[in-house]
């Protein structure tokens, strides 16, 4: 455990941004105080200290932002050609490249991901922006045959749907917001983003930077606030056309209900409890670190984390021994510590929730093999939990069924591949999953058999916007990535033209 921060220098730009007394919502190209004048505090999870104050937005603040977004949608922005929108996205990629260090410092302090992890996420962000810039020029309808008497031409056109409400979680807002912003700018939509109350700062700063980069006022707006206030107001606003939501399944249900007001389209990326299947013929040199970091990366705060590690019974002892040895290399530390591989958990309530599973697992009869405790010493004031492993877990235990969203790995033994597929599918969720096997037919059998939105073979966690990523069952619907992503931001118009 290390907290040696002596070499860490906070950039002036990050420092002066963080020094603001209150971070106001960004609406119509400028910071606008919330009507109530109330604020929420945001805490640095590495230290437990207050980091900043953000506006506690509510219904009227959301309404102001939606009005601005609607005006922008019908305004000058609607005349931008695909080339202009593409050029804007390319410009944004350059600017994000330049400002990345500032943004990751803000993100690290706000949500606790180590700067080491965030630095490595730059390539993924650049790929995402490159992907969406190509989508701007790739929107097309069809010319269709028809059986109508006379000289009638028929075709479909694609048009931007309008105002997109984007509701974002706390586990990676800096990169995650671009799934929405990229598609909004590529399609010609506009957006009101509602970041998590626990991690809003990088989203607010990005909106300012995008505006400086040439995104017209009103096209990207950000309103901070609690989910039950600002989030619910956005989901139920009658002039918001679609909601792109990433967050828990429970909140997803509320959003579905709220959306009925104007039958909004929804893109829902929800929770997960993914199965990571390690077969007896797996290359353990790869499978052990792959399965470990498939859970522990971002301190377990990843929706597709492979938290149920299914291991073939004949290699359970060997796998477990190697896993525990590998974990000796994991360094937990302050998010600004260059030596840290894992940072804290986002907040005290989330830490309490995750830590409670230590007792739940024990009471259910699982064997606590490593971790389970809050870290003390230099890390005692932050929300740090030791990476945790339970052995001898069965799939009916709560630790195998419920999304923990923390650094807790469960080992579930299985006898044969059919049983592994059965266990993997015995879950309410269907988000990620993996199989580790050197046999192609075994791997393919598992890929075909597991009911989930994304499967990795002999690797874990790659996401490429060109390929995509999605969920099924209680993990949500509406593709993220690949050309299908854009369909969430476009509608189809059927055209009949008498010549």
Tell me which residues are annotated as active site: 269, 303
Q: Which of residues 464-483 bind ligand NAD (CB under 6 A)?
A: 471, 476
- Applying CB under 6 A, which of residues 190, 206, 251, 427 lies at the interface with ligand NAD? 251
Q: Residues in the chain, how many?
A: 499
Q: Which is nearer to ligand NAD, 234 or 277 (CB)?
A: 234
Q: Which stretch binds ligand NAD (CB under 6 A): 161-169, 364-372, 418-426, 484-492?
A: 161-169
Q: Which is nearer to ligand NAD, 247 or 387 (CB)?
A: 247
CB 418 within 8 A of CB 379: no
Q: Which is nearer to ligand NAD, 20 or 353 (CB)?
A: 353
Q: How many CB atoms lie within 10 A of CB 249?
A: 18
Query: Given the structure tokens 């118009």, which residue do they identify?
Result: 493
270 binding ligand NAD? (CB under 6 A): yes
Q: How many CB atoms lie within 10 A of CB 379?
A: 24
* E strand or H helix at 493: strand 490-498
405 binding ligand NAD? (CB under 6 A): yes
Closest distance of CB 84 from ligand NAD, Å: 30
Q: Which is nearer to ligand NAD, 62 or 310 (CB)?
A: 62
Q: Which is nearer to ligand NAD, 186 or 234 (CB)?
A: 234
Nearest CA to 456 out of 341, 305, 247, 249 is that of: 305
169 binding ligand NAD? (CB under 6 A): yes
Backbone torsions φ then ψ of 266, nearest 5 degrees = -130, 140
Q: Which stretch binds ligand NAD (CB under 6 A): 41-49, 167-175, 322-330, 441-449?
A: 167-175
Which residues, 6+ apart, have CB-to-CB distance to 336 below 8 Å?
A: 5, 8, 46, 105, 108, 109, 114, 115
Q: Which stretch binds ligand NAD (CB under 6 A): 128-136, 185-193, 248-256, 377-385?
A: 248-256
Nearest CA to 197 out of 300, 346, 69, 344 is that of: 346
- Please, what is the Cα angle at 140 between 213 and 472, to 5 degrees? 85
Closest distance of CB 198 from ligand NAD, Å: 7
Q: Which is nearer to ligand NAD, 46 or 171 (CB)?
A: 171
CB 27 within 8 A of CB 70: no
Q: Which stretch binds ligand NAD (CB under 6 A): 5-13, 78-86, 166-174, 415-423?
A: 166-174
Query: Quick one: angle between helices 440-449 and 417-425, nearest 10?
Result: 30
- d(CA 174, CA 162) in angstroms, rounded, equals 23
- Applying CB under 6 A, which of residues 171, 191, 312, 388 lies at the interface with ligand NAD? 171
Which residues, 6+ apart, have CB-to-CB distance to 320 below 8 Å?
A: 311, 369, 389, 391, 411
Closest distance of CB 19 from ligand NAD, Å: 25
Q: Which stretch binds ligand NAD (CB under 6 A): 51-59, 164-172, 182-190, 407-415?
A: 164-172
- Can you say whether residue 37 is alpha, beta or left, with left for phi > 0 and alpha for psi between -120 and 50 degrees? left
Q: Which of residues 337-376 bind ligand NAD (CB under 6 A)?
A: none
Closest distance of CB 124 from ligand NAD, Å: 14
- d(CA 128, CA 125) in angstroms, rounded, equals 5
Q: Which residues bind ligand NAD (CB under 6 A)?
A: 167-171, 194-197, 227-228, 231-232, 235, 246-248, 251, 254-255, 269-272, 303, 403, 405, 431, 471, 476
């Amino acid at each position: 455990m290390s907290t040696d921060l002596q070499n860490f220098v906070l950039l002036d730009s990050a420092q002066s941004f963080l020094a603001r007394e209150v971070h106001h919502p960004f609406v119509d190209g400028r910071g606008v105080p919330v009507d109530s004048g109330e604020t929420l505090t945001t805490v640095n999870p590495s230290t437990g200290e207050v980091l900043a104050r953000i506006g506690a937005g509510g219904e009227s603040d959301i309404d102001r932002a939606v009005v601005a977004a609607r005006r922008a949608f019908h305004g000058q922005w609607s005349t931008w050609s695909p080339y202009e929108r593409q050029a804007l996205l390319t410009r944004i990629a350059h600017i994000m490249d330049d400002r990345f260090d500032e943004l990751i410092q803000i993100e690290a302090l706000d949500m606790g991901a180590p700067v080491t992890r965030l630095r490595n996420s730059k390539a993924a962000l650049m790929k995402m922006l490159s992907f969406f810039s190509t989508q701007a020029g790739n929107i097309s309808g069809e010319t269709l045959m028809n059986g109508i008497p006379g000289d009638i031409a028929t075709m479909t056109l694609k048009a931007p749907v309008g105002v997109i409400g984007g509701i974002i979680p706390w586990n990676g807002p800096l990169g995650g917001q671009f799934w929405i912003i990229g598609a909004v700018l590529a399609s010609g939509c506009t957006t009101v983003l509602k970041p998590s109350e626990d991690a809003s700062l990088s989203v607010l700063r990005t909106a300012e930077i995008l505006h400086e980069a040439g995104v017209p006022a009103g096209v990207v707006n950000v309103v901070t606030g609690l989910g039950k206030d600002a989030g619910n107001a956005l989901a139920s606003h009658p002039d918001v056309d679609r909601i792109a939501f990433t967050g828990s399944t429970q909140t997803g249900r509320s959003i579905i209900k709220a959306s009925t007001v104007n039958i909004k389209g929804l893109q829902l990326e929800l929770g997960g409890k993914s199965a990571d299947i390690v077969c007896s013929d797996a290359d353990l040199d790869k499978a052990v670190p792959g399965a470990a970091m498939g859970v522990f990366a971002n301190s377990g705060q990843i929706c597709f984390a492979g938290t149920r590690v299914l291991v073939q019974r004949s290699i359970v002892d060997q796998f477990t021994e190697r896993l525990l040895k590998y974990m000796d290399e994991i360094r937990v530390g302050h998010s600004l510590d260059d030596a840290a591989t894992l940072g804290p958990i986002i907040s005290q309530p989330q830490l309490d929730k995750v830590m409670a599973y230590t007792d739940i697992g024990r009471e259910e009869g699982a064997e606590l093999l490593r971790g389970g405790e809050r870290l003390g010493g230099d890390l005692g004031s932050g929300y740090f939990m030791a990476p945790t492993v339970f052995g001898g877990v069965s799939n009916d235990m709560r630790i195998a069924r419920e999304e923990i969203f923390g650094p807790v790995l469960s080992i579930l033994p299985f006898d044969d591949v059919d049983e592994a597929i059965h266990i993997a599918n015995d879950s309410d969720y269907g988000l990620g999953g993996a199989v580790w096997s050197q046999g192609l037919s075994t791997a393919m059998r598992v890929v075909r058999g597991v009911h989930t939105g994304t499967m990795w073979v002999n690797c874990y966690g790659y996401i490429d916007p060109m390929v995509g990523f999605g969920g099924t069952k209680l993990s949500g619907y509406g593709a993220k990535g690949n050309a299908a992503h854009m369909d969430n931001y476009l509608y189809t118009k059927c055209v009949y033209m008498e010549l």
